[in-house]
Amino acid sequence: MSVLVYIEHADGQIKKTSLEAISFAKGLVDKTGEGDVVAVALGSIESAALAKAGSAGASKVMHDPNDKLSAGVIQAHASAVASAFKQTGAKTVVMAKSSLADAVAARLAIKINAGLVSNVVELPNTDGGYTVKRSIYTGKAFAETSLATENKILAIKKNAADLITDGADAQVEQFDAGVADSDFAAKITSTDRATGDVLLPEADIVVSGGRGLKGPENWGMIEDMAKTLGAATGCSKPVSDIGWRPHHEHVGQTGIKVAPSLYIAVGISGAIQHLAGVNSSKCIVVINKDPEAPFFKAADYGIVGDAFDVVPKLTEALKAE
Ligand code: FAD
C-alpha cells in the first residue's frame, strides 16, 4: 500500500522540507515492510524537477499541472490531494508542516475521514497500535497521540527525518485531480516574494541579528556573513517591529520558526519567545558581548565579544576557507 506525500514547490524546485517528508514516508514504508512512496504535486513545475523526488525516496509523483493550482488555494489543494488519495488507495498522507500544509491538512482530514497529527517528530510506533510522538509547547515538550482511524495524516516537523539523497529518479505521471471551480472560491491576486537569495523557512543556515546591532545601517556585516555561508538572514521581533528589517525575517514564537543545520545569533539576548522559533536548529552559535545573555544556555558554541569586532573577523576567516 502506498503512502502519499503532499509536496510543495517554489522557484521550480521541490522544497527541501517536502523532500524530508518523502524520506520520512520512505522510513514508514520500510518500517512496515509494505508499499511505496507516491508524491502528489500541484501546479506548474517541470517534470524533471519533480523526478528528483526519487532521490529522497519516492517511486512515483502524481502531477496535476493545472496552473490554477500554482497559487496554493487551500480548498483546491485539499480537494486535489483527496482525489490523489482515492486514486492511489493510500491510507496515510505525510506532509511537511507549513502554514499551507496546516490549512490543507485540516480540510483534507474531513474529506478523507482521517485522524490528523501535526508537528510529528519521529516515525510512529506501530507495535500493537499507532502512536505518534509530536512536539508541543513550541518545542518544550513532547506528547504521544494514538490514532484509531484507518486513514491518517501526519504533518512532520522540520528535521524529523534524515534526508535520503541517493534514490533514483521518480516516475512522473500527470493526473487530473478534477478540482471544481467552486474550490477556487478564494482568489489570491498577488504574492510577495521574500527578498534575499535564500528563503528563511527553507534555509540550511541562518544568520540572525538582534537589537545589539544598534541600527539598520549595521546589517551589512550580517548580510556579508550570510552571503559567505549561503545563508538566509533573520532577526529578532523588536528589530522588525522598529522597522530595521522586514517582518518576514522575524524569527520566533510569533514569527517564522526555523530549523536549520546552523543558526548564528548575533546581538540577540535569547528571550524564550525567540528561542521558541529556533530550538529545532541542529547547531546554535551565539555571539553576544554579555556573558550572562540567556541565549548562551541554548548555544552549542558561544563567542563572548562585541559583534562589531567578532562578525567581520569571522566572515574574513570564512572567506579565506
Ligand atoms: P534585546 O533583548 O535588547 O537584546 C540585545 C542583546 O544584544 C543583549 O543580549 C546584549 O547583550 C546584546 N548586545 C548589545 N550590544 C552588543 C554588541 N555590540 N555585540 C554583541 N552583543 C551585543 N522576540 C523574538 O525575537 N521573536 C518572537 O517571535 C517574539 N515573540 C514575542 C511574543 C510575545 C507575546 C512577547 C511578549 C514577546 C515576544 N518577543 C519575541 C520579544 C522577546 O521577549 C524579546 O524582547 C526579544 O526577543 C529581544 O530582542 P533582542 O534580543 O534583539 O533585544
Query: What tens digit of pLDDT does each residue of 219-234 get?
Result: 999 999 999 999 999 9
CA–CA gap between residue 170 and residue 47 (Å, rounded): 10
Which pLDDT value is given to residue 159?
84
The model's pLDDT over 27-73, given as tens digits with 9 standing for 90+, comes to: 999 998 889 999 999 999 999 999 999 999 999 999 999 999 998 89
Reported confidence tier of residue 128, pLDDT bands at 50, 70, 90: confident
| Grid cell in block for residue 250 | 522575524
Which pLDDT value is given to residue 186?
73
C-alpha torsion 257→263→264→267, nearest 10: 30
**Could you tell me if the CB of 238 is within 6 A of ligand 1?**
yes
CA–CA gap between residue 231 and residue 102 (Å, rounded): 26
Question: Which atom of ligand 1 is nearest the CA belonging to 252?
Answer: 28
Which pLDDT value is given to residue 140?
80
What does the chain come to in residues? 321
- The answer on pLDDT for 14 being more than 70 is yes
**Could you tell me if the CB of 164 is within 6 A of ligand 1?**
no
The model's pLDDT over 256-275, given as tens digits with 9 standing for 90+, comes to: 989 899 999 999 999 999 99
236 CA → ligand 1 middle, Å: 6
Q: Cell 483546491, residue? A: 76
CA–CA gap between residue 153 and residue 40 (Å, rounded): 14
**Could you tell me if the CB of 268 is within 6 A of ligand 1?**
yes
Q: Considering the chain, what percentage of its residues have pLDDT values greater than 70?
A: 97
3-state DSSP call for residue 186? Answer: coil
212 CA → ligand 1 middle, Å: 8
Q: What is the mean pLDDT of residues 129-145?
A: 91
| Grid cell in block for residue 2 | 502506498
Q: What is the mean pLDDT of residues 285-309?
A: 98
The model's pLDDT over 65-116, given as tens digits with 9 standing for 90+, comes to: 999 999 889 999 999 999 999 999 999 999 999 989 999 999 999 999 999 9
Question: What number of other Cβ atoms are within 10 A of residue 248's Cβ?
Answer: 18
